[in-house]
C-alpha cells in the first residue's frame, strides 16, 4: 500500500504516487478518474483522498474514453497532467493502469466571460493507450 509514512495507516495523496516513467518504452502509470461510456465526471480530491462527483453530461452524451491523470506530474494549471486512455473496456474510478504514451495534445483553455472568450491557461493532455500484452512496436500492438 502507498502510505504517507510507515507510521501512519492512511493513504497518501494519489497525485503524488510514483508514475514509474520508462523513457525507453514510453510507458508509465495513470489513475482513471472518469470511466468511458459514463455521464458522470469524477475528480480526485487530494484533501480527502477520494473521488468526488464533479459534473454530469447531458442526457444522451457520454465520455468516449477513460479520462484521468498521470501521478507525480504537474501541468501549468497546477494539477497533474490529464490523460485520455484508449482501451476496449472501461476501467473503474481510481483504477491504476499501465499505459504507453502514443501522443500529446497541447491545448489552450478559454473562459467565457460576458460576451467574449478570455484565454485562461495552457495545459498538456497526454493521450495514452493501455498495454494489454507485451509488444515490440506499436505495429505489433
Domains of the chain: 20-132 (3.90.80.10)
Q: What span, in angstroms and rounded, lies between the C-alpha atoms of 70 and 75?
A: 10
List of the chain residues with pLDDT < 50: 1, 3, 117-141
So what's the pLDDT on residue 123?
43
Give the pLDDT confidence score for residue 39 in this predicted structure.
95
Q: What is the reported pLDDT for 65? A: 92
pLDDT at 135: 43
Check residue 100 and give its pLDDT: 87
Using alpha carbons, select from 122, 112, 129, 116 the residue that is nearest to residue 30: 129
What are 3's three cell numbers?
502510505
CB atoms within 10 A of CB 57: 13
Amino acid at each position: 500500500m502507498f502510505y504517507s509514512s510507515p507510521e501512519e495507516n492512511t493513504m497518501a495523496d494519489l497525485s503524488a504516487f510514483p508514475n514509474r516513467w520508462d523513457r525507453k518504452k514510453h510507458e508509465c502509470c495513470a489513475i482513471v478518474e472518469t470511466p468511458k461510456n459514463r455521464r458522470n465526471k469524477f475528480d480526485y480530491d487530494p484533501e480527502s483522498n477520494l473521488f468526488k462527483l464533479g459534473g454530469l453530461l447531458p442526457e444522451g452524451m457520454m465520455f468516449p474514453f477513460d479520462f484521468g491523470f498521470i501521478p507525480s506530474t504537474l501541468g501549468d494549471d497546477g494539477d497533474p497532467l490529464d490523460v485520455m486512455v484508449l482501451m476496449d473496456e472501461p476501467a473503474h474510478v481510481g483504477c491504476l493502469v499501465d499505459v504507453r504514451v502514443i501522443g500529446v495534445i497541447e491545448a489552450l483553455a478559454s473562459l467565457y466571460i460576458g460576451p467574449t472568450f478570455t484565454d485562461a491557461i495552457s495545459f498538456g493532455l497526454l493521450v495514452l493507450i493501455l498495454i494489454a500484452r507485451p509488444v515490440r512496436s506499436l505495429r505489433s500492438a
